[in-house]
Amino acid sequence: MSRTPADREGTDARDDRADSDARGVSDARDDPADSNARDAPAPYRQARWTDDGRNEPLLCEKSSASVEVETSLPSELTRETLDLPDLREPEVARHYTRLSQMNYGIESGPFPLGSCTMKYNPKFTEDAAADPNAAVHPLRADEDLQGPLGLLCDLQEMLASIGGMDAVTLQPPAGAAGEFTGILVAKAYHEANDDERSEVIVPASAHGTNFASAAMAGYDVVELPSGDDGRVDLDALEAAVSEETALLMLTNPNTLGTFERDIETIAETVHDAGGLLYYDGANLNALLGQARPGDMGFDVMHFNLHKTFATPHGGGGPGAGPVGVTGELAEFLPNPHVRERADGTYERYEPEQSIGGVHEFSGNWLVLVKAYAYILRHGDEGLANVSETAVLNANYLASQIDFEIPYEPFHHEFVASADADAADVAKRMLDYGVHPPTTKWPEIVPEALMTEPTETETKARLDDLAAAFNAVAAEDESTLAAAPNATAARRIDQATAARDPTLSWHGL
């Protein structure tokens, strides 16, 4: 194999001169496959700053001092003293630098999590959000917020145009919140028409949040099986729809990256039954400038600004999940909504049949500023190029890896099938300095490796990813089961971490 990952972000993967006990670099010779992987990419070595198997100590564990607490709060709510870190500035700076070296993020390298769409976040959007003029208090009167309100109004119109919708709310703070908001808007629409409906249809391969959002809104969930081609089974859909159908939740392209070619028939089937069609915006990255959900027959949709428009994503937020709707649903959007007055000024108002507020003020303001800057910088032609490059990158990467890809043709992402345990494959890929794809989902693909490189990766970086994929594909199961070996945190117990997390440093 000729490809080898290059540019190892802060550590030369070919340098074997480091002592095996050198602090800050784990020894590549600990790698069980190192001796027989001469044709594979050189092992990646992540910083590890302790020799006793623990991570970098917390600041208070390094040095702390007891400080007396003076407060007017009731004594039963306070402590007499508080232990706080007591360190010089260089030690604090080194602490956080070490933590960053023990971590992996989108600025470290590729992050090809299928469907999660982990793009690189360009710094010009951070500059826009850091502009002093963006530091405005939301409780100021509308007359004192004309700049921010004008930006929000423009962003509403931009997103409506991109999605083929008539109106957009910017309130929801994340994709799942957008789903919930969109379903509540649809529910309010049905109720206003004296049309009580009890069911939401969700494809079996849909995001788990689709099922949860529908259930939280009080609906019974009807699971729709996939056809042999991975798309919506039209016969199954025909059998599922009824006078109880409030919504069909769908994303297009779907979770396999394949386009729902029968989308007009799907929309007609749902509408004929009196239901609405909901677009999950997770895969809008594939459609920018090429097609619009509204033109396909969707009535309501959410946008993931942190996916499609490269605002920060992950770690619990902040995010933004604006919701777009067709005209007949506009009066049910959350309040406050923003609009332009006849005299060219802007105001916040409450739509006539609003479902109420779903987030404080007008959403995550600075995230919205970043998305606004991203859209303006790209323009129509640039956004179209984003989707074209995303599709090109996914198809190029897929052509270079030694894994079966059961469902084709695909667009911005693909789902490969591993011969071994997909979780083991993912953990082993960490040893080659790349983040693995999404694993074990969708379940329609055995040992799924759901991969989305996005448009932000170069051909050289895609070659790195392919080299890592292929190196792991050639390794035996015992090697995979022992991975990762070159990361700061080794093989962890994910089930225990999820079910019984340590939420305070006191429990360490």
Report the C-alpha gap between 58 and 469 in whole angstroms.
35
H/E stretch holding 384 reads helix 365-400
Report the C-alpha gap between 429 and 445 in whole angstroms.
20
Cis peptide before 336 (omega within 30 of 0): yes
Report the C-alpha gap between 247 and 244 in whole angstroms.
9
Residues 88-97: contacts with CB within 8 Å, 24+ apart?
A: 91/62, 91/63, 92/59, 95/56, 95/59, 95/62
Show pLDDT as tens, one digit a residue, over the chain (508 residues). 333 333 333 333 333 323 333 233 333 334 444 434 335 676 688 888 776 656 788 898 889 999 988 888 998 888 888 889 999 999 999 999 999 999 998 889 999 999 989 899 999 999 999 999 999 998 999 999 999 999 999 999 999 999 999 999 999 999 999 999 999 999 999 999 999 999 999 999 898 899 999 999 999 999 999 999 999 999 999 999 999 999 999 999 999 999 999 999 999 999 999 999 999 999 999 999 999 999 999 999 999 998 999 987 755 567 899 999 999 999 999 999 999 999 999 999 999 999 999 998 889 999 999 999 999 999 999 999 999 999 999 999 999 999 999 999 999 999 999 999 999 999 999 999 999 999 999 999 999 999 999 999 999 999 999 999 999 999 999 999 999 999 988 888 888 988 998 887 665 5
Query: Cβ contacts of residue 485 below 8 Å, gap of 6+?
Result: 26, 30, 31, 32, 43, 431
According to DSSP, residue 169 is labeled E
**Nearest-5° angle of CA 347, CA 362, CA 169?**
85
Whether 486 contacts 462, CB under 8 Å: no
What pLDDT was estimated at residue 186?
98
- β-pair partners for 144: none
Q: What is the CA radius of gyration of the chain?
A: 25
Report the C-alpha gap between 80 and 363 in whole angstroms.
39
Report the C-alpha gap between 230 and 232 in whole angstroms.
7
Domains of the chain, each with CATH number or no CATH: 136-363 (3.40.640.10)
